[in-house]
Structure 1
Amino acid sequence: MQNMFEIDDNDVIYKDVVIIGNGPSGICLSYMLAGNWPYYTGEPHPGDDMLTARLRFCTTSNEECDTPDDVNTDVTFNNRHQCSKSGISRTQGGGLACSTRCKLECLSSGIEGRGGGRPLALLMDQLQHPCVDAGLDVPSLLDWVSAEEHLEHRIVDHVVLGKGQPGGAWQSMDPNVLTISLSRWMSLPDLDLRQWEKLVEAEQLQKSVLTAESDVYARLEKLNVCKASSRVSMGTVAAYYKDYVHRKGLTQYFRCGTTVTSVRPNSDSPESKGGYNWIVDGYENKNGKQFRYRCKRAVLATGTTDLFNHLGISGENTNRQWVTHDLNDLETRLGCLVSEHGKDSTDEQIPPVLVIGAGLSAADAIMAARFRGIPVLHAFRNSLNEWGKQTAGRITTSYDRLQWLPDSIYPEYHKVYEMMADGGTNYPLYKSLPGYTLVSLSENCEKGNIRRTVTLSAPNGQLHTFPVSIAAILIGYKPDLSYLEGGGTELGKFANKPIDSKSNPIEIDDFTYEVINAPIKGLYALGPLVGNNFVRFVLGGALGIVAHILCTANT
């Protein structure tokens, strides 16, 4: 574990659960730990009759949770309280949050879809967004009931730690770029993003309009028409996540502006006998004040976009004035490049920008450069079998991230991949270098002028040198797990290898989300760290963790 320090025992804070990471995963889990539980509405699933049958059987069974010894509650247990949002008595079995492992396995059986294959992720996606992959916009099959509405709901004492504002990495993304996912896929429980947009619009209208009251209500009525699901800006999503925490009363659980330095088992302290088996250390970013939590359970929800991947080649880290791994930083540099050369400069006067990578960030970089009239050299990994045909259709099947995206919704990305297939013959300001590998980056001063060059190796091994203005190496991200011993390498599917959301996620139990290779029990992980890389799939992890906490005794 990293950056361990001594702290007065009087300053130690005790919690049942400490969540490291305040992005969508942490927000969803906090919402459920705060006593907001999902219930099946009783409506049939439009595309899965067997799932409907399993849901109706499981939600009317008498299987109950055992009352755990290790969960503190902020509510008193009274007589059973009947909720009235649907015709089904949802007190039986405590809803989905109080499901046993057997029930969750039954409900999840046979469901197919995306999201890394985690059964609970697929189950909750089918309930929250029925038939979404078929293009249908069907209402959710979940009702969310709070502890105030149902007095038997348990509120688990917890805290959510995050470096920035609620929303995690979404708060640092380019606010003008559109999301890959549709707006409804970005939604958190019980407040669809589209509903939130209408709500904010209505509130702004009420504040600004000075006309007659009747006119106000007439205009508000028009906002009740549900918006179609479409892509939205990153800035809208970031604002939604931040506001969601406030609207749902979760602010009391969030401690933002903090950096966690260590998460380790507490095996030799007297407090561990009371179930506080984990220690979480960190500091406040503004003043450096250190803190320590002792908790019964720790949850890793920090995502996988903390650090940029590097090639590890000559000049990559020594030429930071013109070499970047950050798309946002590249946008700033492109603006400065245009200002530096003047508005009337031609593409022959501005050396090209080198873009390395074939993912969405690389595509965004290419579009950003061409929009500003700056030429682009684009190098990416290549297979002769994949790129033998110069057709856009070949492109869309070569990259699984775009394989299922309709052209009508994502025209800009399909255009970039058409350019990659074409090689640049029919597209000005773009030259494709398929199969080329970046070897080195160098900067020399010739006759008082700074000349920046890159050397790439062609598929046949021949070296080529190109002058460039900027080199953008956009080859993905990796998580920062420096707060774990050995960077968490022992926790992955493949031991002693870095954690990666695609090739080496943290190995967990599919139905409890407990980390299998943790030194002791009580460590969980969810979200991209376990391969659930889209927001629409994080709810399954939250359900698994909450169900395990609620339905197991102290171990």
Structure 2
Amino acid sequence: MPCSLPRSPLSAAETEIDTIIIGNGPSAMILSYILHGHVPFYSSEPPHPDPLLHAKLLNAPCLLRSDLDALTHHFAASRMSYATQALPVNVLLDTLLRPNGDTDDLGDVTNVRWEYHPHLKIPHRVLGDAPTPGGLWAVEDPARVSWDIQTLSYAGLLSLPGYTFADHFRKTKKAELAAFTRPSRRDLAEYLRAYPAEVGIEDVFYNGAKIAGIERTEDGFYIHSHGIRCKRLVLATGIFSHIIRPPPLLLPLTQLPGHCSSGAQLLVIGSGFTAADVIISTPPDQPILHIFRWDPDNRPSPLRSGHQQTYPEYAGVYRLMKRAAMSSIGATPQSKPRKLASTPFLKSRNWDQVYEGLPNCEVVDVSVHNGKGTVTLRLPDEKGTTIVRRVCGLAYTVGRRGSLDYLDPSLRAEVLDGAGELDNGMVTPRTLRNKVMEDLEVAPGVFVIGSLTGDSLIRYAYGGCVHVASTLMNRDQEQTSSGGSTPKRPAGTPTGGQDALLNGIDGHGRPSNDFCQSNDEANAMNGARNCPDLAGSSWIMRKWWNAFMNVFSSAS
């Protein structure tokens, strides 16, 4: 069972740890799995469909290597359809895990195999405030979204190493998972809750830990809230932990219950997936007043990308919004709505009766009396027409943000130095993006993984975790061999220069610090090449020398 971390007292072994991971969501789980000694290797059977990537990895299959960026240099010119919005190191691991792309949801074909090398373990702890492993997936959604809402990603794209969602489905449901299944939030939360125990990493998970006051010390970091010291810090708290708060005008509406039987409407503000989730989660007879931005030419709703077959519920909400927007052009809100095309989702309730969409309107006044709310709205017409509606609650769903308030001000300033935009002190997908394009070590000894890098999908968490694990193991080897600390590589210069992590580097020079060997004896030399050496390159040298002497003895 994952542990609950007491405040005090703790033994010296418990309070002095090599690495602390803050956050107990999927990216923390992937990194912990690797730091437990599970090493990813390139599997060449079948060869990856990108012949150049295959050639680069064939004789150096260990993926815990310091030159991951070199492997991605050709991606922009490749005939393969590599994603261009995610960090290439994340795209690299994604294409190796699923070489056939999204057409192979369950990962029947993969170019990654995991080998267990216990001597490579890095002592670490995973501290997260969620009560069980899973991060935000383990807690009630503050927007009151139903646990039955389906995930955007297919199950195969949500799977973690060593125990896939299909494995969990088979174990718990006694059945095979169908391809292209979108699990519910509840099913995913149950999978993530079970994952650490299933792969044997639950010993380092401390859940329900309210972390605060992390400061830099001379030899690492100190976590005041729990009296723990560590050498390295990995931030995996994401960018979705806080819903953007309503403006002061709307705050009185947050005190309303959010459901009623008096015919009052639930006010939903937002044009994205969370707004749609709220609408889908409401009881079928709950009237809804939906205020949303409508600017399809310049800032289209993300719901527009939801295909009718893959995301019928999101496509349905988008149709409701589009119909409302079209009806508002030269028409009054009381005009008869256009008829909706018939789909199972749109047949699920009488939308003409329960849904009222008002694009681009403005809330100009709010009043709350005896648990009942009234809002005055200004329509975007030339006359500035105002209308009044009774509401029973507010779902303000215009976005989410992350927070680094568990770092003390000095350390937080270090992490954010040179970073991008902040939203009232909150972290957005763009805040650390420029920094992580140069190096995932955003301050000396401080690394970020998961959506803090700007890549929010679980499928794109692997690359950053492999990169950070490789850096930690390399640095641990360097400190062990030198007997002291090794200076941090200057920020912005991962192996190949300022933009190498994003763009890769030319050349195929042999990096230093080899460490892991494949279990395949025929590939022992090649498997170790390009990897940090914790097992000892001397073992490989002895193996080579013994083989040479045997041949020499036989010849004589």
Partner of 2:445: 522
Task: Please list, as runs of the form range in 1=range in 2, the aligned pairs for 1:306-345 lying within 5 A after superposition.
Answer: 306-316=241-251, 318-322=252-256, 333-334=258-259, 337=260, 341=261
Displacement of 1:170 = 0.6
**Distance between the aligned counterparts of 1:258 and 1:384, measured in 2?**
43
Q: Does structure 2 retain, via aligned residues, the 8 Å contact 1:380–1:437?
A: no
How many angstroms apart in 2 are the aligned matches of 1:114 and 1:485?
36
Partner of 2:465: 542
The whole-number CA distance in structure 1 between the counterparts of 2:470 and 2:232 is 13
The 3 A distance-change label for structure 1 pair 436 and 126 is same
Conserved 8 A contact 1:303-1:529: yes
Residues 522 and 440 from structure 1, CA distance in 2 versus in 1: closer, same or farther, beyond 3 angstroms?
farther
Structure 1 residues 458 and 114, CA, compared in 2 at 3 Å: closer, same or farther?
farther
Structure 1 residue 258 displacement after superposition: 0.7
Match in the other structure for 1:466: 389
The alpha carbon displacement at 1:117 in A equals 2.2
Q: What corresponds to 2:63 in structure 1?
A: 96
Query: What do residues 43-86 of structure 1 show as CA deviations (whole Å, max 9, x unaligned)?
Result: 34564233222222443xxxxxxxxxxxxxxxxxxxxxxxxxxx
Matched letter for residue 292 of structure 1: G
SS at match of 1:452: strand
Which residue does 1:494 correspond to in 2? 420
Aligned match of 2:494? none
Match of 1:177 in 2: 149
Task: Provide TM-score, normalisation by structure 2.
Answer: 0.71
Q: CA deviation at 1:442?
A: 1.7
What letter matches 1:157 in structure 2? P
Match of 1:132 among 74, 78, 101: 101
Match of 1:192 in 2: 164
Count of residue pairs the alignment pairs up? 431
| TM-superposed deviation, 1:183 | 0.4
Is residue 162–residue 199 contact of structure 2 (8 Å, CA) maintained in 1?
A: no
- Structure 2 residue aligned with 1:304: 239
Partner of residue 223, structure 2: 280
1:186, CA displacement in angstroms? Answer: 0.6
Q: How does 1:80-479 map to 2 (within 5 A)?
A: 95-97=62-64, 99-101=65-67, 103-107=68-72, 109-110=74-75, 113-114=82-83, 116-134=85-103, 138-147=108-117, 153-163=119-129, 164-173=131-140, 174-202=146-174, 223=175, 227-267=178-218, 272=219, 277-282=220-225, 291-316=226-251, 318-322=252-256, 333-334=258-259, 337=260, 341=261, 349-369=262-282, 371-383=283-295, 385=297, 398-400=300-302, 403=305, 405-423=306-324, 425-426=338-339, 427-428=351-352, 429-444=354-369, 451-460=372-381, 462-479=385-402
Q: Secondary structure at the match of 2:127?
A: strand
Instruction: Specify the SS of the correspondent of 2:56.
Output: helix
In structure 2, the CA distance between the partners of 1:420 and 1:509, relative to structure 1 (3 Å rule), is closer
SS of the aligned residue for 2:212 comes to: strand
CA distance in 2, matches of 1:10, 1:143: 36
Is the Cα–Cα contact under 8 Å of residues 493 and 504 in structure 1 kept in the other structure? Answer: yes
Relative to structure 1, is the Cα distance of residues 435 and 257 closer, same or farther in structure 2, using a 3 angstrom cutoff?
same
Instruction: Write out per-residue CA displacement over residues 364-406 of structure 1, whole angstroms, 9 at most, x where no aligned residue.
Output: 222233x42122111112227469xxxxxxxxxx334652x43
Supply the AA of the counterpart residue of 2:111. Answer: L
Per the TM alignment, residue 296 of structure 1 is displaced from its structure 2 partner at its CA by 1.2
Determine if contact 1:116/1:531 at 8 Å carries over to the other structure. no
- Provide the secondary structure at the position in 1 that maps to 2:459: helix
Identify if the C-alpha distance between structure 1 residues 492 and 366 changes in structure 2 by more than 3 Å, giving closer, same or farther.
farther
Whichever residue aligns with residue 503 of structure 1, its letter is R
- Residue aligned with 1:314, SS: helix
1:261 Cα deviation from its structure 2 partner: 0.4
Q: Distance in 1 between matches of 2:49 and 2:105?
A: 10
Whether the 8 Å CA contact 2:291–2:361 is kept in 1: the answer is yes
Cα distance change on mapping 1:184 and 1:363 into 2, 3 Å: same
Letter in 2 for 1:100: S
Quick one: distance in 2 between partners of 1:384 and 1:459? Answer: 16
Uncovered stretches (5+) of structure 1, i.e. residues with no partner: 60-94, 203-222, 283-290, 324-332, 342-348, 388-397
CA distance in 1, matches of 2:162, 2:321: 41
Counterpart amino acid of residue 121 in structure 2: I
3-state DSSP of counterpart to 1:260:
coil
TM-aligned CA deviation for residue 439 of structure 1: 3.9
Name the amino acid aligned to 1:160.
V
Q: Secondary structure at 1:259's aligned position in 2?
A: coil
Q: Distance in 1 between matches of 2:418 and 2:367?
A: 37
Question: How far, CA to CA, are the matches of 1:492 and 1:437 in structure 2?
Answer: 36
User: Aligned partners of 2:43 and 2:303: how far apart in 1?
Assistant: 33
Structure 2 equivalent of residue 532 of structure 1: 455
Preserved CA contact (<8 Å) 2:125 2:206:
yes
Per-residue deviation, 1:240: 1.0
8 Å contact from structure 2 (residues 105, 180) kept in 1: no
- Correspondence 1:480 to 2:403: yes
* Partner amino acid, structure 1, of 2:281: A
- Counterpart CA distance in 2 for 1:458 and 1:142 is 55
- 2:51 maps to 49
- Quote the Cα distance in structure 2 between the aligned partners of 1:24 and 1:401: 25
Distance 1:182 1:492, change over 3 A: farther
- Residue in 1 that maps onto 2:327: none
Gaps of 5+ in 2: 1-6, 141-145, 325-336, 340-350, 479-485, 488-556
Q: Secondary structure at the match of 1:296?
A: strand
Amino acid at match of 1:311: P
2:513 corresponding residue in structure 1: none
Which residue is equivalent to 2:34?
Answer: 32
Structure 1: which amino acid aligns with 2:460? Answer: F
**Does the Cα contact within 8 Å between 1:501 and 1:530 map onto a contact in 2?**
no
Q: 1:17 matched to which residue of 2?
A: 19
For the residues of structure 2 that align with 1:281 and 1:116, how far apart are their CA atoms?
Answer: 37
Q: What are the Cα deviations for residues 219-244 of structure 1, in whole angstroms up to 9, with x where unaligned?
A: xxxx5x56323101111111111211
Contact 2:72/2:92, CA 8 A, preserved across alignment: yes
TM-score w.r.t. the length of structure 1 is: 0.71
